[in-house]
Amino acid sequence: MLTFRIIPCLDVRNRRVTKGVKFQNNIDLGDPVEMAARYYEDGCDELVVYDITASAERRPIDIGIVRDVASVVRIPFAVGGGISSLDDMRRVLLAGAEKVSVNSLAISNPQVIADGAKAFGSQCIVLGMDPVRTPDLEKFPSGYEITARGFRVRTGLDAVEWAKRAADLGAGEIVVNSVDADGTRAGFDLEITRKIADAVGVPVIASGGAGKPEHLDAAWRDGHADAAIVAGMIHTGEWTVSGIKAAMRGVPLRRT
């Protein structure tokens, strides 16, 4: 049986980790390299590093942060933000990341998923998606629409249909980051996580809303997720990765 993975997420702006609620009111939390090292030592399974302003500022990702994180951890980590081409993917992977996360780029150019999978392998290509609940079931049968660029742009894409298309194109994993739950620490959106997990044949990662270990239990049991992203609950020191693992019961985990 594959183990359920716990993945800290580091949202980086100006070389500092930041966190907000529903992509707003972000506060400074610390140095990303120091935090990556701490979470690695505490037993996290993977990491995600997002350069959250790179795309909006139309600049490439800060490759120095990728190299610095790679120098202090010995676990897989994914990198996103500012990825606009296969050359950008190659630079990130050569800098030490194992995976590249694409979101807005994949929406505007879905072929990049297939091209990336062909060039580097499906296991390297992660689709990030930001679904928001909608009452328009005629247009969006899943009840969720995909947004882009930090929830600022509605795409007209149904969340489940987009996930299925991305998996068919070659995405090796899908991160379902609920806009409605992001930063609330009230629990993952299990409905859309489960719908996507049941519709695709690749691992699905629950994201947005983790506040206590029970939420991760629910992501596995009820959301059918293969992994969960955590941020605020560990960034603030309320929980540690090892503490979360110790509190989870019945979920297959890689114990520290």
Average pLDDT of the chain is: 92
Residue 24 has pLDDT above 70, yes or no: no
Distance CA 236, CA 142 (A): 34
Confidence band, pLDDT 50/70/90 cuts, at residue 159: very high
Q: Is 182 assigned a catalytic role?
A: no
> How many other CB atoms are found less than 10 A from the CB of residue 250?
8
pLDDT at 98 (0 to 100): 98
> Mind spelling out the 3-state secondary structure of the chain?
CCCEEEEEEEEEECCEEEEEECCEEEEEEECHHHHHHHHHHCCCCCEEEEECCCCCCCCCCCHHHHHHHHHHCCCCEEEECCCCCHHHHHHHHHCCCCEEEECHHHHHCCHHHHHHHHHHCHHHEEEEEEEEECCCCCCCCCCEEEEECCCCEEEEEEHHHHHHHHHHHCCCEEEEECCCCCCCCCCCCHHHHHHHHHHCCCCEEEECCCCCHHHHHHHHHCCCCCEEEECHHHHCCCCCHHHHHHHCCCCCECCC
- pTM here? 0.93
pLDDT at 249 (0 to 100): 85
Rounded mean pLDDT, 3-22: 86
CA 145 to chain centroid, in Å, comes to 17
pLDDT at 22 (0 to 100): 52
Residue 149 has pLDDT above 90, yes or no: no
- Partnered with residue 4 across adjacent β-strands are 253
Rounded mean pLDDT, 85-110: 96
pLDDT at 25 (0 to 100): 53
Domains (range + CATH), the chain: 5-247 (3.20.20.70)
pLDDT tens per residue across span 37-66: 999 999 999 999 998 877 767 777 889 999
The one catalytic residue among 51, 62, 130, 182: 130
How far CA 50 is from CA of 65, 74, 102, in Å, comes to 10, 18, 10
pLDDT at 182 (0 to 100): 87
Provide the percentage of residues in the chain whose pLDDT is more than 90.
79
> How many other CB atoms are found less than 10 A from the CB of residue 133?
17
Range in 23-27, 29-33, 192-196 with the lowest mean pLDDT: 23-27
pLDDT tens per residue across span 185-210: 999 999 999 999 999 999 999 999 99
pLDDT at 256 (0 to 100): 64
pLDDT at 20 (0 to 100): 59
Q: Is 168 assigned a catalytic role?
A: no
The one catalytic residue among 11, 51, 182, 226: 11
pLDDT at 14 (0 to 100): 84
Distance CA 63, CA 79 (A): 10
